[in-house]
Amino acid sequence: MPDGPLIVQSDKTLLLEVSHARAQEARRAIAPFAELERAPEHVHTYRLTNLGLWNARAAGHDAEQVISALLEYSRFPVPHALLVDVAETMARYGRLTLQAHPAHGLVLSANDRPVLEEVLKSKRTAGMVGERIDPSTVVVHPSQRGHLKQALLKLGWPAEDLAGYVDGEAHAIELAEDGWTLRPYQHDAIEGFWHGGSGVVVLPCGAGKTLVGAGAMARSQTTTLILVTNTVAARQWRDELLRRTSLTAEEIGEYSGARKEIRPVTIATYQVLTTRRRGVYTHLELLDARDWGLIVYDEVHLLPAPIFRMTADLQARRRLGLTATLVREDGREDEVFSLIGPKRFDAPWKDIENQGYIAPADCIEVRVTLSDSERLAYAGAEPDEKYRLCSTSPSKSPVVRRLVEQHAGAPTLVIGQYLDQLAELGEEIGAPVITGATTVNERQRLFDAFRTGEITRLVVSKVANFSIDLPEASVAIQVSGAFGSRQEEAQRLGRVLRPKSDGRTAHFYAIVSRDTQDQEFAAHRQRFLAEQGYAYRIVDAEDVLEGGA
């Protein structure tokens, strides 16, 4: 019997023994089709899902390759039923195809007519298709291309989109050559995206997703629309493109609450695009009128519903999604697959850390005990008030002060959810506070001062969760979060993962109230990072106050 590193189980979980000599080899073989669920010290757990298998099929892997990998690396016989299920699941992808027809434009074709009959009978596809050309082909309204792909995925028959892309308006963009080169994984990510046509690149925070976007723009050589989370992120993208590409300031426009510029490369915020007046998304319509060749979605996992609708209408353009994690608490990962495209590249966080491109991190959960009066107040609180009460416990303040003292001089971020709590902490540790009410110019001024070392402490709300480049930040102290959001935890750790000039380790503290919802939500928030191999140490607040974590 072969001594493989993998145990394949009938519930579709794959257990990988990390210390096995062939573990890395097996990891690379299963990465295209298996989703990593947990990555603690000794055994990593992967799962086979329909979406993962369809992702693999869309990326050019067939069932034979998947089955061969499972058989080659499995320590025990692979359950036959699982192999049959893999083959049949992957065979569902591509029985329907979207194609460009010379006479009828966009059509949906089937190589299996009963499948076509089944989906056309569904209420989900009503109004999306037109006349029947022949028994296996039906006309699709071009504006319904994305909506139909969503509907077919939910019906379990994901369509292969072979209809191609319009070229878009040509625009010369080159990567600047001034002493830097793309890292190998960035180059691989760009190639994976370009050969696939559209799709998502998953890279850890701090691993240079913006440079992947710039590289894709240089490959495309077309006008580009970049969608970002906020105005600060828009300006960071602009600065990075000016540094890393041949683009000039006149070629890059900002479309935000403050400015409305449409240029060959336009960086727009999700927020302004989803502004509706009298039931109409006027900004969406204005931007949609431009002949873009490429759309880049920064933090693609955050796509709000109106942007999903816009994306459904932009299927004729190449689309690149960038994210550190495709985790969505609402389970809408399938919409990212159907509207942006499949995952084209995914690099585990620890792999990038081992290559020296992101900083190693020490993750510590500090547990505080509520006072008797706080416990009584918590016990009698209404359900919707319980989390706020335990998250904003005054017991957390001395711990924050002690940790800030312990890391005196180190660039430190204190991060939280509740504004009154953050205001008090800002006063206690003598640090400026950045919230949604802070003007864009003031945010930029404070972030710049933090980058240059003029100030070493910042207190920030969730406005700093995404797309904020603070490369020297080395300590993050989280005092409250958005309930059990895994992607928020990942983004907050990401604020301190950019590699440090002196190679030092980053420190991430989560201060949690014991025996409350705060502790329960913290456990859920940490799941994604645990899956990526980050282990939290748990320490008592008293130990921190007495001698440090």
Amino acid symbol at 71:
L
* Topology of domain 359-547, CATH: Rossmann fold (3.40.50)
pLDDT interval class at 76 (50, 70, 90): very high
Using CA atoms, how far apart are residues 171 and 289, in angstroms rounded to an integer? 17
Write out the two tokens for 378: 């918590």
Query: 270 near 310, Cβ under 8 Å?
Result: no
Phi and psi at residue 339, to the nearest 5°: -100, -35
pLDDT interval class at 485 (50, 70, 90): low
Mean pLDDT, rounded, for 87-114 = 94
pTM of the prediction?
Answer: 0.82
Q: Is the pLDDT of residue 466 over 70?
A: no
Domains of the chain: which residue ranges?
6-91, 96-161, 184-353, 359-547
By three-state DSSP, how is residue 51 classified?
Answer: helix
Determine the length of the chain. 549
pLDDT digits (tens, 9 = 90+) for 421-434: 999 999 999 999 99
**Looking at residue 465, what is its pLDDT?**
63
Q: Is the pLDDT of residue 298 over 60?
A: yes
Q: Is the pLDDT of residue 59 over 80?
A: yes
Sequence-distant (6+) residues with CB within 8 A of 502 are none
Strand order from edge to edge, sheet including 105-110: 129-134, 137-140, 105-110, 96-101, 160-161
Mean pLDDT, rounded, for 314-341 = 80
DSSP 301: G
**Looking at residue 67, what is its pLDDT?**
97
Q: Give ∠ CA 91-95-97 in degrees, rounded to 5.
A: 135
Q: Is the pLDDT of residue 304 over 50?
A: yes
**Cα 478 from chain centroid (whole Å):** 20
Strands 129-134 and 160-161: unpaired
pLDDT interval class at 483 (50, 70, 90): low
Mean pLDDT, rounded, for 295-306 = 82
Q: Is the pLDDT of residue 511 over 60?
A: yes
Strand partners, 295: 225, 319
**Looking at residue 251, what is its pLDDT?**
97
**Looking at residue 1, what is its pLDDT?**
47
Sequence-distant (6+) residues with CB within 8 A of 95 are 110, 111, 112, 115, 157
DSSP 163: S
Write out the two tokens for 408: 């005196």
Mean pLDDT, rounded, for 21-38 = 87
Sequence-distant (6+) residues with CB within 8 A of 522 are 365, 481, 510, 512
Q: Is the pLDDT of residue 278 over 90?
A: no
Write out the two tokens for 85: 């299920």
* Percent of the chain residues past pLDDT 90, beyond the cut: 52
Average per-residue pLDDT in the chain?
A: 88
* Percent of the chain residues past pLDDT 70, beyond the cut: 95
Mean pLDDT, rounded, for 330-353 = 80
Sequence-distant (6+) residues with CB within 8 A of 331 are none
Amino acid symbol at 152:
L
**Looking at residue 290, what is its pLDDT?**
84
Mean pLDDT, rounded, for 369-373 = 92
Query: 505 near 362, Cβ under 8 Å?
Result: yes
Residue 387, class by beta-carbon neighbours within 10 Å (0-12 exposed, 13-18 middle, 19+ buried)? buried
C-alpha separations of 102 from 163, 248, 264 in Å: 11, 40, 31
**One fold for 96-161 and 359-547:** no
CATH class of the structural domain 96-161: alpha beta
Is 3.40.50.720 the CATH classification of the domain at 184-353? no
